[in-house]
Amino acid sequence: MALTEWKNAGSTIYCLGSGTTFDIKTLLPDVDYTKLTKDNFIIKVISSSVSLDEDITSIYHLTTTPQVTYDAITGIATLTGLSNSYYRSYYDGAKHVSLSNSISIMVYLIDGDIETA
């Protein structure tokens, strides 16, 4: 698989694509995956989708927060938090609320100098 890459000031940025699991040691065999951390990954939100089905008048808030975990031993990056849902049925069973949202993402890897806040 050919990855898009950019070079800038001592760093290389790779566009890994969309997905939820990335095997860095296989995708980028020339990158020392054992020295990477979750801070080397950037998640860009491409789009968001929200669905609401309600039988009552209320305001509900649902947040989708993408996160990346990285295992430097295996070289596997995993994304979670790309969707969320909420359902509530009220005591009489006649009223309910159903809410869901999801996001589409693009994942980038920075190999080289990075700054963390």
The number of domains in the chain is 1
List the pLDDT tens digit at each of the 117 positions of the chain. Answer: 455 555 666 788 899 999 899 999 999 999 999 999 999 999 888 887 777 666 555 556 667 788 899 999 999 999 988 877 776 666 666 666 777 778 788 999 998 766 655
Domain annotation covers residue 68: yes
Contact 109, 13 (CB under 8 A): yes
Give the CA angle between residues 67, 28, 22 to the nearest 5°.
30
- Please give the residue range of the domain that contains residue 11: 4-112
pTM of the model: 0.73
Domain annotation covers residue 117: no
